[in-house]
Structure 1
Amino acid sequence: MSPKSSSDQQLSGNLLDVLIRAGLIAVLTIYCYLVFRPFLELILWSLILAVMLYPLQRRLAARLGHHEGRTASLIVGVGLLILMVPTYLLGISLVDSAQQVMETVRSDSLRIPPPSESVADWPLIGEPLYTAWQQIASDLSGTIQKFRPQIRELLLGLLGRIAGIGAGFLLFIAALIIAGIIMAFGELGHRSAHRIAARIVGPERSEPFVKLCTATIRTVAQGVLGIAFIQMLLVGVGFVFMEVPGAGLLALAVLVLGIIQVPATLITVPVIIYVFSSEGASLATIVFAVYSVLAGLVDNVLKPLLLGRGVDVPMPVVLIGALGGMVASGILGLFIGPIILAVGYRLFWQWVDNQPAEVEVDKPDGGQSRSG
């Protein structure tokens, strides 16, 4: 056997060994992912909460004698107490709103006023809109019967969404508890993050890598999601105590508008007008109106305090992350999507900005040289 043939056989054997090892690693990776997949969103949400709350953990631990476990338990307990009552009220209102809609449709008590003649004069859509509106207003029961399958699917989808919100809330509670466990071992987690980053991007760039990811998570979580959640609770509690119809759904709309950076006054102002038109001017309605206006504008006070920290993330990135996350993972994706996309966005641009700064320059004699 010639030396060349022996070398080729050895190379083929080495290549076969590499392919077998790579295949086994791929199978193991895929199987680990399938096992871990049901817990992926829970762990992601737990890590996000842990990163967001860890500065508070360190400040409190310094005052409580550096008892990390007790401090984390205190933060989790207080957080659950703060969130439980208003979230429970909004959840009950959300379920009641859906039940009222279904009961109204079933009892055939829904009435729609006829359209104004001026609607027919609207450009492009005026005539067909006026015809359809007039038909629905004159024969609502017939219209409902005609579209009963579609209405049934819509109501079932609405109930499914409400169930998803409830499941998301339970998942959030579990994530908060797990985040407390992660914070109790915060120093160990910090060192582990540096070791992983050093393996991915190299030891000399691990520190900026970890800082960038941490700052991005805290910026989006505190400055966008946190403000939207606080605003939803403030506005929603006012709607619930005023017994506004559909208070839970309206509060959820405030949350979505807050995340996509649309003013909550689009919800609060029509609700205030409705309350005054239905109940008249009284001390209760005036107090409600003032409270709702202030709650709808609270983001203008909180944004300079929270959104200005850390790094800049363009609002279109947050918007795409929120909408895409909600489509992919429901109500929980509404929170996780913007954070994951923002981290990916910042890491991408850091990778782009760290490329070697070499530019080709034309020489006078027609040649080329490189300059850094």
Structure 2
Amino acid sequence: MQDTDISVKLERGTFLFTLVAVSVAFALLLKPFFAPIFWACAIGVIFYPFQKRLLGKWPHRRNLVSLCTLILCVVLVVIPVLVVASSFVTEGVSLFQKVQSGELNLADYVDRIKQAFPWLQSLAERFDIDLERIKSQTVEAFTGAGQFLAKRALAVGQNTFQFFLNLGLMLYLAFFLIRDGDAMVNMLIRALPLGDEREKLLFAKFAEVTRATIKGNLLVAATQGALGGLIFWWLGIPGALLWGVVMAVLSLIPAVGAGLIWLPVSLYLYAVGDVLNATILVLFGVFVIGLVDNILRPILVGRDTKLPDYVVLFSTLGGLAMFGITGFALGPLLAALFVAFWGIFIREFNEGESPAALLEQQGSSEEPSGSEAS
């Protein structure tokens, strides 16, 4: 009898070890497609409410509902992003070529700011700051950014097939995640050994945070970029579309974001004596662009993720540093899951509350839909 127990334990241990090894190998196999897989999951989460509404009308037409949802995603998100990205790369390369040809002298712009604000020199000397070094680093940074952009534009042109392959894989996977999300999540709930109630709570948190961070941050970024590009165009600042897209990308960083662009530009306008336009830009940046970040982001991101603003800031910065542009969603998502895991641990093991009670407290007593977590 004892030999039988040992044999059973050995078989189970060997099976579990093999299961983990195969799972790790499969994860490594999918690693090159991490970005398309993640964004396919995000599409399934974000467009779930629309899909659910269509399913209410056509309950037995899941293929048609999934296709309609995917078409809506392409029209509202994919096509506009491709158009803006193409225009951004075109203007960026054009600006870089002007810098390379000497038509635009970045060092001259920095010198004008120093001449217009002589107190900067004395202030820098008091704190032992080398303004010449800062000037050279600024010029190098802008030149390096231009070179990077030009290289990326060339790489995109050379790897057009790979880009559209990833885009096609993302949309292809999104179709099945939208259509079969319920079954996939139910399978995961049955397979994972965390306890069904805990898994439902974590899947609900995953869906909630993914939807909040992506929709909220993208809406804030698009709004700030559009407002920044509009005021640059109205003031006659060259490359309004380029700087608008740059402000949109930088606005993914909470608190500072778009100010990294409009503030130096306003200082330059002051330096060249264009006081009126500089003042307009500062007032617009502080009271319009800045308020978008201070008002919309806590409402759209912080409230739905139930994370403090400082956690959203640091998790976003960490996500961008670790995962690139995808990190603006992954960072807060990992932070929210971290908080959720510790919340479950504290309430279950220290206070004795069940996961079902946690679901009820968060207004998620009903089982989360599979598409929400897909």
| % identity of equivalent residues | 18
Q: Give the Cα separation in 1 of the matches to 2:68 and 2:179.
A: 11
CA RMSD of aligned residues (A): 4.8
Which is bigger in relative contact order (C-alpha 8 A, separation at least 6)?
A: 2
Q: Give the Cα separation in 2 of the matches to 1:351 and 1:105.
A: 58
TM-score (norm 2): 0.66
What secondary structure does 2:349 align onto? coil
Correspondent of 2:227 among 225, 235, 253: 235
Q: Give the Cα separation in 2 of the matches to 1:163 and 1:333.
A: 24
Correspondent of 2:247 among 243, 249, 253: 253
By how many angstroms is 1:329 displaced?
2.8
- Alignment map for 1:160-309 (pairs within 5 Å): 160=151, 171=166, 174-196=169-191, 199-223=192-216, 225-232=217-224, 234-235=226-227, 238=230, 244-245=238-239, 247-262=241-256, 264=258, 267=261, 297-298=291-292, 302-303=296-297, 306-307=300-301
Shifted more, 124-133 versus 338-347: the winner is 124-133
Q: Give the Cα separation in 2 of the matches to 1:65 and 1:256.
A: 42
Task: Kindly name which structure, 1 or 2, has the bigger radius of gyration based on alpha carbons.
Answer: 1
Is the 2:252–2:328 contact (alpha carbons within 8 Å) kept by the matching residues of 1? no
Residue 92 to residue 174, structure 1, CA distance change in 2 (3 Å): farther
Letter in 1 for 2:334: I
By how many angstroms is 1:130 displaced?
4.7
1:105 aligns to what? 100
Correspondent of 1:328 among 322, 327, 331: 322
How many residue pairs get aligned? The number is: 335
By how many angstroms is 1:312 displaced?
0.4
Letter in 1 for 2:76: I
Q: Give the Cα separation in 1 of the matches to 2:131 and 2:286.
A: 34
Gaps of 5+ in 1: 1-6, 137-142, 359-372
Letter in 1 for 2:84: L
| 1:233-290 CA distance string (max 9 Å, x none) | 63366367977426335423333324424474664577689899999999xxx9xx98
Letter in 2 for 1:121: S
1:361 aligns to what? none
Gaps of 5+ in 2: 353-374
Q: Give the Cα separation in 1 of the matches to 2:92 and 2:343.
A: 45
Residue 73 to residue 234, structure 1, CA distance change in 2 (3 Å): farther
Q: Give the Cα separation in 2 of the matches to 1:96 and 1:204.
A: 51
Q: Give the Cα separation in 2 of the matches to 1:258 and 1:336.
A: 12
- Alignment map for 1:43-122 (pairs within 5 Å): 43-63=37-57, 67-83=61-77, 84-85=79-80, 87-107=82-102, 109-110=104-105, 112=108, 113=111, 115-116=114-115, 117-122=118-123
By how many angstroms is 1:157 displaced?
3.5
| 1:282-322 CA distance string (max 9 Å, x none) | 9xxx9xx9899766644566557644764402233333332
Residue 246 to residue 164, structure 1, CA distance change in 2 (3 Å): farther
Is the 1:97–1:246 contact (alpha carbons within 8 Å) kept by the matching residues of 2? no
TM-score (norm 1): 0.67
2:148 aligns to what? 157
By how many angstroms is 1:43 displaced?
1.6
Is the 2:320–2:328 contact (alpha carbons within 8 Å) kept by the matching residues of 1? yes
What secondary structure does 1:201 align onto? coil
| 1:176-234 CA distance string (max 9 Å, x none) | 553233112233234334324xx3322344433332333233333333x2333432563
Is the 1:232–1:252 contact (alpha carbons within 8 Å) kept by the matching residues of 2? no
Letter in 2 for 1:348: W
What secondary structure does 2:306 align onto? coil
Q: Give the Cα separation in 1 of the matches to 2:63 and 2:286.
A: 39
